[in-house]
Structure 1
Amino acid sequence: MGIVLHALAAAGYVALAVMAWRALRLAPEAPAGRHEQIGLAAVLLLQALALLDGMFSDGSLRLGFALMLSAAMFLGMIVYWVESLLIRVDGLRLLLLPLAAIVALLPIVFPQSRIIANPESGWLRLHLSIALAAYSMMTIAALHGLLMAAADRRLHDLAMPVSKDDHGIRQTLGRMFDAMPPLLVLERLLFRLIWIGFVLLTLTVLTGIGFSEEVFGKALRMDHKTVFTLLSWLTFGLLLIGRQVRGWRGRLALRWTLAGFALLLLAYVGSRFMLEVVLHRG
């Protein structure tokens, strides 16, 4: 049943992506319609059922890199869905929907997972919930940053001569960026997401300390997850300080954002990918 639900969720994301790109070609100025928002809500419900089945189907708590990534993307899509009700971010859906379709398929392609010890621990449940929320918020922030970089690059490219072969591509990209808010609005939104993500990441560290104290009798176990999480937390913290004190923005802020996100991925998803897929260990 879980495989069917993951496949249906991926198919739903693909259908929405096709609709979004078709709408961009036919009516670039038109915002995403209510039917798209309702359709996305339905797909999110399917993915929620698929994740619940994958994580709790046999009465235990299971996690793997594919389920973790899918869950983080699922929460990120919820953030986008709420965001789209408040501000026009149509350009972002053109990137998010195809990516969400790929990520929704990962638990089918890489079904490996492991049973999580101490599932009855309140600290563990709280820690995992907040960690997933932090992952999703920073994922959306990283994608926002990439879109900002692409939009900034487009502004510089507008002054360059265009060949006939590049004209169609530039026209399509132009329509895509026309469906996005101005760069300054995107930048404010990016740092709002990073602030929320940083608070969640701080809570992830604190609840991890509580869980470690409860189960292992010490505040921090300096394994790879802890090290990479702390490095990511430090990177985002320095970025926010640099923003407040030195006014960091633009490409400098983007580099710090992507560096912090890469470290966060390595904290769990990257390490589980190496163990489960490359080394075939649980």
Structure 2
Amino acid sequence: MHPLLPSLVAAGLYAGATAYQGLRLARREIPRKGLLALLVAIALFFHGASLFLQLHAVAGLALDFFNAASLIAYSAILLTLLACARIPVENLLLLFLPLGCITVLFAQFLPSGTVQPIDEEPGILAHILLSILAYGMLTIAVFQSLLLLLQDHQLKNKHPSGLIKNFPPLQTMESLLFGFLWAGWALLSASLISGWLFFEDLFAQHLVHKTLLACLAWVVFAVLLWGRHQLGWRGHKAIRWTLAGFCLLMLAYFGSKLVREFILHI
């Protein structure tokens, strides 16, 4: 089966779910949670089918730049949808669904760079899975921090939009942010540990930049969580540290992949 059809269906469903949620919020109405969850779940099914077909290669896992972006978007949407069953984070979908639509189309239609298929040994696959889940969870944390920043700004200026009026209280939004950060940091820790265990040399030429930047991101998130616990960090300071750690993490993964696949062709 060719991945074109599931990619187009997934993109269409993501776009439809975004339009539905956006229009309801613009009218200051709460979207029907069941209908939104159903649309997103079906979109995830087709997105997953597309990823399975694109990632599977004869020599191993074809995790090129755009497939990786699509996979991380998929994991972020899936984790958010699962979280919606217990905590009020439906508004995050309004940001993630367009991201899913864009990345699934990019993975389908844009040319991939030069990439060596990844050996599908269980240890390596476990490391990749933990890394993708960590990136997905920390992506959720970053988008949550941006929504928190928007909510704080509009409440201070006393001009809350229809979107903001459907948010939980500011304190709840902040608690959710740190919950996502703790989960993402734990997954990132497990990812780094699995890398040390299953890769022969994490400081080999093609891995050294990724390893160093990922470790720096780990330190940034660790300091942020320590600052929250010991010093009560919150608000803009917490958001700045979150964005700094995320930028390091994305530079570690996508920066190195961009250079290797599209510039150095290795």
Match of 1:258 among 219, 243, 262: 243
Alpha-carbon shift at residue 57 of structure 1 (Å): 4.4
Is 1:121 the counterpart of 2:105? The answer is: no
Match of 1:208 among 191, 195, 201: 195
Q: 1:47 & 1:127 partners in 2: Cα distance?
A: 22
Q: 1:223 & 1:211 partners in 2: Cα distance?
A: 15
**TM-score with structure 1 setting the length:** 0.87
Structure 1 gap ranges (5+)? 159-169
**TM-score with structure 2 setting the length:** 0.92
4-13 vs 14-23, which moves further: 4-13
Match of 1:269 among 245, 254, 260: 254
Q: Check whether the contact 1:79–1:137 (CA below 8 A) recurs between aligned residues.
A: yes
CA gap of 1:90–1:126, structure 2 versus 1, over 3 A, is closer
Is 1:281 the counterpart of 2:254? The answer is: no
Q: 1:72 & 1:179 partners in 2: Cα distance?
A: 27
1:227 paired residue number? 212
Alpha-carbon shift at residue 174 of structure 1 (Å): 0.9
Query: Once the two structures are aligned, what percentage of the paired residues are identical?
Result: 30
Q: 2:32 & 2:216 partners in 1: Cα distance?
A: 38
Is 1:37 the counterpart of 2:22? The answer is: no
How many equivalent residue pairs? 262
Alpha-carbon shift at residue 52 of structure 1 (Å): 0.8
Q: 2:202 & 2:57 partners in 1: Cα distance?
A: 32
Alpha-carbon shift at residue 234 of structure 1 (Å): 0.6
Which amino acid is the alignment partner of residue 54 of structure 2? G
The C-alpha deviation readout for 1:32-85, integer Å capped at 9, x for no partner, is 331211111000011111111111144621111211111111111011111222
CA gap of 1:147–1:257, structure 2 versus 1, over 3 A, is same
2:7 paired residue number? 6
Alpha-carbon shift at residue 5 of structure 1 (Å): 2.0
2:185 paired residue number? 198
Alpha-carbon shift at residue 220 of structure 1 (Å): 4.7
1:148 paired residue number? 148
Q: Check whether the contact 2:21–2:31 (CA below 8 A) recurs between aligned residues.
A: no
Q: Which has the larger radius of gyration?
A: 1
State the Cα RMSD in Å. Answer: 1.8
Structure 2 gap ranges (5+)? none
Which amino acid is the alignment partner of residue 93 of structure 1? L
Q: 2:202 & 2:61 partners in 1: Cα distance?
A: 23
The C-alpha deviation readout for 1:208-251, integer Å capped at 9, x for no partner, is 00122xxx3x5654611101110111110111111111111100
Alpha-carbon shift at residue 280 of structure 1 (Å): 6.5
Q: Check whether the contact 2:182–2:225 (CA below 8 A) recurs between aligned residues.
A: yes
